[in-house]
Every structure is written in structure tokens, then in C-alpha cells.
Chains A and B, each alone.
Chain A
């Protein structure tokens, strides 16, 4: 039986509003998802009942806040099947997590070393490596994945004995393509490279098992998986986190400080300078609980159904170019020749349909596709088939209105 998202709608009251006198159709979930009541309640409860700084005051509130905070680490570790909760480092989001690794590994890089990424990366998993290459004299190389993400045997040549870091997205934010992670990670590991997976677009949809993935680092953001903004996670294997130089220093991350020397704290605290985003951590744990309480496979199948439905309706229209895979995507990214995506977006917006038009922080990928940007409708578990159809209907209306006769 098909999954019915109507049971989830009441958990997301923001969705039942009007946008310019039309029912809001929120299809910008790859940018950020809406948050269920349980996440909002957890944050509210924390401030109403438990608010105190963590890991310091020996008093009732601080103990409770610290317990909730560390329990959240445990929840997230469990959520991605990390072996130890000390392998979970709190960050502002996936971007900070990747920067933390890029700065933390700098001391290990030499001129001529290679950093390998793929052609499908978000700027967040490109610019930190490019800048690291500039600083160290390392060379940034780009595995030329096609927009379909297929593996080609000749790609193995990109993994060399100079490859020190391999960083790849699990799913392209711009076009929804799933990358051939397994084989890429195998090649990277054969060369002894550190491996990082950008999971920002995957966590909301796919059950994540970092032990099966077997990457050194896994980065993701809370706000794209029904959690709050401003919180994210860097998971790392113990040895990988241990070699990272802390890229921020200060309170909380130290064990002993004199004016002349500092002894750093143990993991995970060594990499968490300053008072953390406590409400974010607690909200993120609630988001993990929300997802874990669902039948994840049923949610994913539903999201695929919505994207496949939109694909099948729109690909028949001769003047629409779709860049997303036909199957197993959770978004549809497209453009229409001779019509500006901002014009399409403006009409969709005027009808209450929220999507994203732009380059999706992936300029090199847009260049590879030969477009300035795309229009992206991205789905979450709470989206309905009516919403998928409304997007198609309104888009076709927009094309009609904007076509030059």
C-alpha cells in the first residue's frame, strides 16, 4: 500500500497556510525542510525547563542540560550507526564540518599532494578543498562524473598514490544524482587517502550507516533533515578525528591552560571550542527521533514516487529539459529553453508554489550542464501527490504565459 503523507501533515503546521491566497506548496526541501512539532517542542522545553550552560555548573539545571546534550550525541550516533558517541562532533552545519576537516588536515599536506573531489559537488565541498590546495601547494583534481553519476573504469586513474584526501557528495543537491560512492571510496582507501562524504542531501531521505559506508568523515546539516538551522554534525573515525588540528580554540576544548601552553581536551570536546548550540543539538536529536519513528523505507519510496511522477509528467513536454535522474531521485531539476528560470520561479511563487531557481551553489556543475541555473522542486516525506501535480500544472501554465508566440 502506498504511503499516505496525510498522517504527517498535522505534525507540520507551517504547511497549512496560504501563500498569496493560494495553498502553500512547499517544494524547496533540499534547501531546508520544515520542522515537526516534536522538534519545536524539544527546543521550547529546553528553554522553559532546562536552560543552562553545559559541562560546567554543578547545579540542577546544568546537570539536566548536560545530560540532554550528551544524550543527543548518543541519539545522533545511533541514528547514523556510529560506533562511539565521541565520534560525533557538533558543528554549525555540513559546511563547517567540511571546513573543520579541510583546516584540520592541512598540517599533513605537502606540495604535489592531491585532493580529489567530484564534478557534482556543492560549493561547500569544493571551495574548502580548493583553498586548502592554494594554501599547501596541493593539487585539486575533479573526477568528471556525468550528471547521471555513472562510474567509468577510466575514473580509477584519478586515484593515485598522491591522493591524500577524497571528498564526495552522496547526492547532488542541484540535480539529485546519487554518486557511485562505494567504488569511489574503495579506490580512495586503496591509495590510503582520507575520505569524506558530504551527506547533507542524503540524511533526510536515506538511512545512514557510517560503518557500512566506511568513510573517515561524514558531514551533514540538521536543517535539511527536519531539525533546526545552525546545527550540523561531523562524524569521524577515531584515528581521523585524532589527527585533525582544532581549527578553533578557546574554552570547552581544553584540559589545562597556562599563559605559555595549552593541553587540549579529549574527543569530541577537543574539536568543539566555545559554548555549543545547545538548543540546536537538542532539536537535532528530536529530528532524529522523528525520523527513526517512521518507516524510513516507506518515506523514501514515497519521495521517489513523487519525483518520478513529476519527471514522467514533465519529460513528455518537449520544451522542458530535465537534469535529474528518472528514477530514485527525491528532486527534479529542470530548465526551459528561452525562458528564464527566475520568470518561471516568479509565476510559481505567485501561485504559492515554493521552489528554488538558481545555480544551487554549484557553478561548475551548471557549467558542465551548459546552463546558468535550474529550477528545482525537491520533495520531503510530507509532500502530497496533489502538490506534485500542482507544481506540474503551474509550471506548464508559466511556460504558456512566458512563451513568445
Chain B
């Protein structure tokens, strides 16, 4: 089974994003991160896996083995794929209870992704967060 986060370690992702000092640097870091997200197949990109409320199309697949959760996700927008890498690095391999106890919005803000959480553009990201915390 391939690691759904590619080779990137969560700690590296955090460090990369926190090092960004401007919107432009965050943009470039997200583009770089986006390349590490394994793409979903056409069969996986079905309506049932689509998250409602995103400006770009986002698909999320959750599986559970031995009580911990694994995630696969994709988007038609590159930046969103970068954001997905960041979000999934926070929750991958955790139990649902642990994920539900996380304050994902604050954690994403700490990764310089606060502007992706404003209601105008990231309804999408908020929708992803609430989907991740759902049973």
C-alpha cells in the first residue's frame, strides 16, 4: 500500500509552509507540495467522493484500518492539491476521535493557510475540514 502522502513527512510540510514570509512564497510552496499528492483514478473521482461547497472540484476518500484513518484526495486545482497535502498531513493515521478533537482551523492558520479559510474562497477548505471530522 502506498503512503497517501507520498514521500513528504508531516514535519517537513509544516516547516516548509511556516517558512513562507509572503503570499507569493506560500503560493510557490503549495505548488511544490501539490506535486507530492498521488492523483486519484477516474473511478475514484465520482460524485459520491466529491466535497460540496468547493470552488474547485475536490474528492476525498476515507478508509479505516485497525481503528486509524487513511485519506486519499484530489482536486482539479493545483493549489488545492497543495492545501490537501497540508491538511491530510495533519490527520493521516489518526483515530477519528483524535481528529475530532483537533482544531483544524487553528492548525491550518499556523501553516500560513489562514487566507484559504476565509468564507469567500475556502468554503471549500472548511467543508473539507468538517468532512474529515465526520463519522
Contact = CB atoms under 8 A, between A and B. Distances in A.
Contact of A350 (B23, B55, B77, B121): B23
B23 A343 contact: no
B76 interface: yes
Contacts of B31: 401-402
A401 B77 contact: no
Give the interface SS of chain B, mostly helix, strand, loop or mixed. Answer: helix
B55 A358 contact: yes
Interface string A111-132: 0000000000000000000000
Interface residues of B, number: 15
A346 B55 contact: no
B24 A350 contact: yes
Nearest to B116: A346
A286 B24 CA distance: 39
A interface majority secondary structure: helix
Contacts, number: 37
B27 interface: yes
Given A401-B28, A401-B31, A342 B23 contact: no
A358 B31 CA distance: 20
Contacts of A402: 31, 78
B22 A340 contact: no
A271 B76 CA distance: 47
Contact of B23 (A349, A358, A401): A349
Contact of B76 (A20, A340, A346): A340
A347 interface: yes
B28 A342 contact: no
B79 A342 contact: yes
Interface in B1-43: 22-24, 26-28, 31
11 contacts: A339-B78, A340-B56, A342-B79, A343-B78, A346-B27, A346-B79, A347-B27, A350-B22, A358-B55, A402-B31, A402-B78
